[in-house]
Amino acid sequence: MTTTEKPDYKVIGTRPIRPDGVEKVTGKALYGADIHLPDLVQGAVLRSPHAHARILSIDTSAAEAMPGVLAVVTHSDLPVVADKVLDMGEGASTASDMSKNVLAADKALYRGHAVAGVAATNVHDALTAIEAIKVEYEVLPPVLNVQDAMRDDAPLLDASRHTRTPTGEESENASNVAAHNRFEGGDVEAAFADADIVVEREFDTKMVHQGYIEPHNGTANWNSDGTLTVWTSTQGAFAVRGALAELLQLPVSRIRVIPMEIGGGFGGKIGVYLEPVAALLSRKCGRPVQLTMDRTDVFQATGPTSGGHMRGKIAVKDGKITAAEVSLAFEAGAFPGSPVMAGAMCMLSPYEVENFKVDAYDVVVNKPKVAAYRAPGAPNASFCVEQLIDELARETGADPLQFRLSNSAREGTRMITGVAHPRIGQEETVQAAQASDHYQSPIEGPNRGRGVAGGFWFNAGMQSSVVASVNPDGTVNLIEGSTDIGGTRAALAMQLAETLGIEYDSVRPTVVDTDSVGHNDVTGGSRTAYASGQAVYEAGLDIQQQMVARAAQLWECEAEDVEYADGGLRHTSDSEKTMTFAELAGKQMETGGPLQGRGSVVARSPGAAFGVHVVDVEVDPDTGKVDILRYTIAQDVGTAVHPAYVEGQMQGGVVQGIGWALNEEYYYGEDGRMENASFLDYRMPTSLDLPMIDTIIVEVPNPGHPFGVRGVGEVPIVPPLAAIANAVHDATGHRFTELPISPRRVVEELHNLQ
Amino acid sequence: MPRRTHIQTTLNGEEIDFLCEPRQSLLEVLRDELGLTGTKEGCNNGNCGACSVLMDGRVVNSCCVLGVEAEGAEVVTIEGVADGDTLHPLQQCFLEEAALQCGVCTPGFIVAAKALLDSEPDADEGRVRHWLAGNLCRCTGYDKIVRAVLKASEMEEVSA
């Protein structure tokens, strides 16, 4: 479904095979753990068995004396760093917090917190050696959820931490609440007093993990001249380089980060965990060191996303939402930095809400420090708001999609941040869902129900740079620095081919290391096809301009008399004078030398993404199992560059949301131990749990991008939590306000009703 | 160092031998001793299927098989699925159907799906979903993977 006449693209909108495809289906692609270097040794990391403990002493002498052991490091091997904020692209942290997260300093703040690293000639010796490290702990009571952490008498993770209040001041008392922010607009009290209907509920969600299949890894070689090379699976090679420069106090130019293929990230592979430890070990032993996590480490010691507690209250008058009051408290994990602000800013953005009061609390708890996870914060917050909206639609007797359409934001509607939406596709997306075959078909049968929900994500812009080298045979090498998680090599090559009017197969994209291209921010925020795409477009225009000048030189005319069109050059008044792209590419030596195009952008107009989901479920009242019978997602993608990969993003995001809604949670014992730190017990959806996921691509072009591209990857995970809860309510008559809606919870809550 | 055992096996059609410690898994041997890194480690405890290989025609999680158990067996890894530079229909269909995003689970899926189509070339969607339930993918939501396997099953080379 498109809303406007699309330009007659030749490459954009097609479905070519990705450039890195053959290597990935034949097993030749090299991921971080696949790197083998001469003299490479392996390492292991000792982790805290306690969720909260003071580290009184660490004795590494026995481990260091063991056969095969080459080096042992602890926090004391890291330089002291300032409290400087490091913006990693999706989520910021201070350098000192990051340093304490990489290797615990005076306290272990979660079970799995790294305490020491060992390098040995093989991984088995390293694993044996970490057991010989003697750590004396003073075990402290852990705080494991936001309500407990916010109590006045709660044990404090950091006694020097005070709350930054909405006015920017520091609270008088020390607290686990790192920050409290507030958005206020209109007259909330008057609107609630004047409302026809008000609904109010509390909601809870649990910590969940991104669940990428490839565990974290980091391989480092520290040379005696102070140069450091790091091979890693990361969403942001430049973010890793910047973090290492800060944590290790090295000049940026001395660090080369080589991004290996990355086996999934979803926001969770932006921060650094193993890389600094591998670097320290390499410096100590003088050999390259490789560290990899096992799955338990991935769950316990890398960033999941927040669980939290939410309270929402929304008012309706004459079918219109008139006021919303929402309070969100999200777990940040061991150090401040939950995505609660993003959640707060997203949850009401599909709608026009004049009167609002939104409070957002960032709360530290004794769990791993959270990391970004696909539209961080928005799914939780929408779980609250989209259920309240469903309830309001029901109470007013309105169709839930029509209710959303009647209250939709459009161009000019202000979000709670005060920023007005530019051209957006919210209404078109709701209408596409309404018109879908799925929504038009009845749902029948006992214990079955249908739910809908909407979602919003900002999408990010940030910095990208690329270089495109024209080869004498008319092919082009595209040098880029955006790591490719799911097909962006293809999406970028397609945009360069489109810009130049040449074949997709003529463009060969390569993701290079941090020494080999200008700065590129992370592959995150759904920014790569959009922002790096814009850099690619700029590089294409640069090539066009240079080619025009060179053609003018060959034809001995003015550059104004030459135009670049349809993948070639032509004289505007002499139709005899034409040259194909390849012909001019073959004349580089006689026209000024090697031809390179450059594109460098700070992309500032990422068109926001909207998604509307429709889901049918069947609830087994005896076992509590919820089956997904049918799922349809409609989403405004601006322009679908490679529709198959766009659909893939939509389907993948939905299925992560299905897992979050129905099964996934960090399940903690009272001692702060995660009880389900394996893929068997942390139950992600399998192929058997799912139907096909139907996609409706809505294209309302982003006016801020030459091809109208909007970010695609994140918003698909926003609506499923609420859409499924709404469907389960439709099936059972019971509203589930706590995730996951697992068989145990369904049986318990339905049983309690009887 | 524990004593290493001499193992003879057939790997991707080639008779080879290697030395391995009793504690080393087949996955570790393939990746670290034989340099075949196409087989991936996702969990190292048999939950995710990223390390799927064929052993005497059966799909196994190579992280749950000891290297010494490969003695006398026929092992096929992702590196042995294509016929020279001709991709297996499954590999071709995975590319055409965009059935991979990050690609790290892909070798396991292709190996597991090959075992299915070798024995059940007419497998339907339900059967494919059931068979592949031991392989986790976090990127695709499985839709395009299932379509790719079904498409491959319709191709002549597989059904012949």
Counting as low any pLDDT under 50, the low residues of chain A are: none
Q: pLDDT at position A753, please?
A: 81
Residue A575 neighbours by CB under 8 Å, 6+ apart: none
3-state secondary structure of A231: strand
Number of Cβ pairs < 8 A linking chain A and chain B: 187
Are B27 and B72 within one domain?
yes
Q: Last residue of some domain: B22, B49, B80?
A: B80
Q: How far is A651 from chain B (nearest CA, A)?
A: 5
CATH number reported for the structural domain that contains residue B23 in this entry: 3.10.20.30
Nearest to A329 by CA among A154, A459, A109: A154
Most A CBs within 10 Å: which of B31, B63, B104, as the mutation test of the A interface? B104
Distance of alpha carbon A633 from alpha carbon A650, whole angstroms: 7
What CATH number is attached to the domain comprising B107?
A: 1.10.150.120
Q: Tell me, what's the pLDDT at B157?
A: 59
CB contact under 8 A, B144 and A648: yes
Q: Is A716 on the interface with B (CB under 8 A)?
A: no
Q: In this complex, do B97 and A644 lie within 8 Å of one another by their Cβ atoms?
A: yes
Q: What is the model's pLDDT at position A86? A: 79
In a shared domain, residues B141 and B113: yes
**Residue pLDDT, tens place only, A20-49:** 999 999 999 999 999 999 999 999 999 999
B94 and B59 in a single domain? The answer is no
Top residue of A14, A24, A25 to mutate, by most chain B CBs within 10 Å, is A25
Q: Which of residues 576-605 of A touch B (CB under 8 A)?
A: none
Domain A21-28+461-603 part of CATH 3.40.50.1980: no
Q: How confident is the model at residue B144 (pLDDT cuts 50, 70, 90)?
A: very high
Of A36, A211, A215, the CB nearest to B138: A211
3 state DSSP class of A136:
strand
Phi, psi of A531 (to 5 degrees): -80, -45
Query: Distances in Å between the alpha carbon of A433 and those of A232, A347, A395, A587?
Result: 41, 19, 22, 53
Query: Buried b / exposed e across B36-68, counting CB within 10 Å, b at 16+?
Result: bbbbbbbbbebbbbbbbbbbeeebbbbbebbbb
**Residue A714 near chain B (CB below 8 Å):** no
Using the Cβ of A294 and the Cβ atoms of chain B, whether some distance falls under 8 Å is answered with yes
Give me the pLDDT at residue B1, please: 66
Q: Is the same domain home to B64 and B99?
A: no
Same domain for B51 and B118: no
Task: Find the residue in B nearest to A649 (Cα).
Answer: B140
Q: Is the CB of residue B145 less than 8 Å from the CB of residue B106? A: no
| Same-domain status, B76 and B93 | no
* Shared-domain flag, residues B71 and B111: no
In angstroms, the separation between the Cα of residue A724 and the nearest Cα of chain B is 16
Task: Assign A532 to helix, strand or coil.
Answer: helix
| Sequence spans of domains, chain A | 21-28+461-603, 419-457+607-753
**Residue that is last in its domain, among B58, B80, B102:** B80
Question: Is A631 at the interface with chain B, CB within 8 A?
Answer: no
pLDDT of residue A118: 98
Say what the pLDDT of residue A3 is. 56
CA A164 to chain centre: 26
d(CA A71, CA A65): 10
The whole domain housing B130 covers: 89-159
B59 and B111 in a single domain? The answer is: no
| Chain B residues near residue A687 by CB distance under 8 angstroms | 128-129, 132-133, 135, 137, 142, 145-146
Note whether A678 contacts B43, CB cutoff 8 Å: yes
Question: Per residue in B84-122, pLDDT tens?
Answer: 999 999 999 999 999 999 999 999 999 999 999 999 999
Indicate whether B63 and B94 sit together in one domain. Answer: no
Out of 3.40.190.10, 3.30.365.10, 3.10.20.30, 3.40.630.10, which CATH number does the structure's domain A419-457+607-753 have?
3.30.365.10
What pLDDT does A4 receive?
61
Q: Is residue B127 scored above 60 in pLDDT?
A: yes
> Quick one: pLDDT at residue A606?
93
The secondary structure of residue A33, as a DSSP letter, is G
Q: How far apart are CA A714 and CA A150, in angstroms?
A: 30
Boundary of a domain, candidates B48, B80, B112: B80
User: What's the pLDDT tens digit per position in B56-84?
Assistant: 999 999 999 999 999 999 999 999 999 99
Q: DSSP secondary structure string, A267-284? A: TTTSS-SSHHHHHHHHHH
Is the pLDDT score of B3 beyond 70? yes
Q: What pLDDT is stored for residue A594 in this prediction?
A: 98
Residues B127 and B154 in one domain: yes
User: What was the pLDDT predicted at A223?
Assistant: 95
Measured between beta carbons, the chain A residues lying within 8 angstroms of B137 are 213, 687
Please judge whether A263 and B96 are an interchain contact, meaning their C-beta atoms are less than 8 angstroms apart: no
**The two domains A21-28+461-603 and A419-457+607-753 share their CATH topology (first three levels equal):** yes
Residues B67 and B133 placed together within one structural domain of the fold: no
Q: How far is A662 from chain B (nearest CA, A)?
A: 15
Task: Yes or no: say if A16 and A438 are a contact pair by the CB < 8 Å rule.
Answer: no
Q: How far apart are CA A559 and CA A542, in angstroms?
A: 14
- Decide: residue A676, CB within 10 A, 0-12 exposed, 13-18 middle, 19+ buried: middle
The DSSP symbol for A673 reads -
Cα–Cα distance list, A344 to A312, A338, A382 (Å) = 11, 11, 9
ipTM rounded to 2 decimals: 0.98
Same domain, B60 and B97: no
Number of domains in chain B: 2
Residue A752: the pLDDT is 87
